Each structure stands twice: as C-alpha cells, then as structure tokens.
Amino acid sequence: MAQSPVLLVPVDGSEEAKRALNHALTLAKELSGSIMILNVQPHFNTPNVKRFFSEEAVHDYQQQLGREAVEKSLEVVKEENIQVEQKIVIGVPSDEICKVAKEINALSIIMGSRGLGAVKAKFLGSVSYSVLHDAPCPVTIVP
C-alpha cells in the first residue's frame, strides 16, 4: 500500500507561516495527505551566550520558543481532519528544513516568505531562498 503524501511546513509563528500552513491544509485535503509542522531553532553558539547562560538554560529556551511556534500552528489545524505531526530541531534553519524533508520523503515543502521592510519585502528571505535551491523536493513559497 502506498504511503500518503507528506507536506512539510516550516513554521516560526509568523503570519507568513500561518498562510503557508493554510495553503498546505488545502493541498493535504485534496491529496489525502498529512502535514509535518517543523520549527527550527538556531544555535546560540556564541561566546557571550556560553559565558552567561548554561547549555541547559539555552536548550530549554530554544524548546520553549519552538513549542510556542508549533502551538500557534496547531491552533490553525485543530478543526481539520488532517493527520499532523510536529517536530522541533536546533540548527541552521535552511539546512534542517532540507534534511527533514529528505528524512520524511516529503512530497513538497510549503513555507512562507519573509519580508523585512518595504524594499526587502520584494525579495525572498534568506531561509526561503536557501531552501528553494537546496531542497530534495518541490518548494512552494507562500507570500
């Protein structure tokens, strides 16, 4: 029996990520697929962080931030009849998104773009741009 398609949706708590998740929900329903919600927390491997905070405190903080972003996303999908998994990882966001997509054999990555101002809003964010070029599957960027 064939496995149902899995759509990977990286989330960070932003409105762009919420719109990407809504788009993924529509596609998952049409494809009878499922969704993997992924949050990637960056490393805090700087000398000042290590100097003032324990590794455990940093890890707890990263997990807290990840849970907050994922919980926001779960609010969007709670009324839907779609299988949803969630994962929080720590690393370079674009690398981890591509890695997880490969691990789960994602049909597609659906993610939001990140605009940072009037001029930059016209261009893709650096994470979106990197994922678009390095992903092991098709990528949809939702504005």
CATH number at residue 14: 3.40.50.620
**Position 111 pLDDT exceeds 50:** yes
**Position 101 pLDDT exceeds 80:** yes
Q: Quote the radius of gyration of the chain (alpha carbons, Å).
A: 16
Give residue 105's pLDDT: 97
* C-alpha angle 37-15-104 in degrees, rounded to nearest 5: 15
Query: Rounded to an integer, what is the distance from CA 64 to the centroid of its chain?
Result: 16
**Position 131 pLDDT exceeds 90:** yes
pTM tops 0.85, yes or no: yes
Total count of domains within the chain: 1
Quick check: is 41 in a domain?
Answer: yes
Quick check: is 43 in a domain?
Answer: yes
Q: What does the buried/exposed string (b/e) look like for 21-41 if buried means 16 or more CB atoms within 10 Å of the residue's CB?
A: bebbbebbeeeebbbbbbbbb
Give residue 120's pLDDT: 46
29-82 tens-digit pLDDT: 999 999 999 999 988 777 777 677 888 888 898 999 999 999 999 988 888 889
Q: What does the buried/exposed string (b/e) look like for 123-138 if buried means 16 or more CB atoms within 10 Å of the residue's CB?
A: ebbebbebbbeebebe
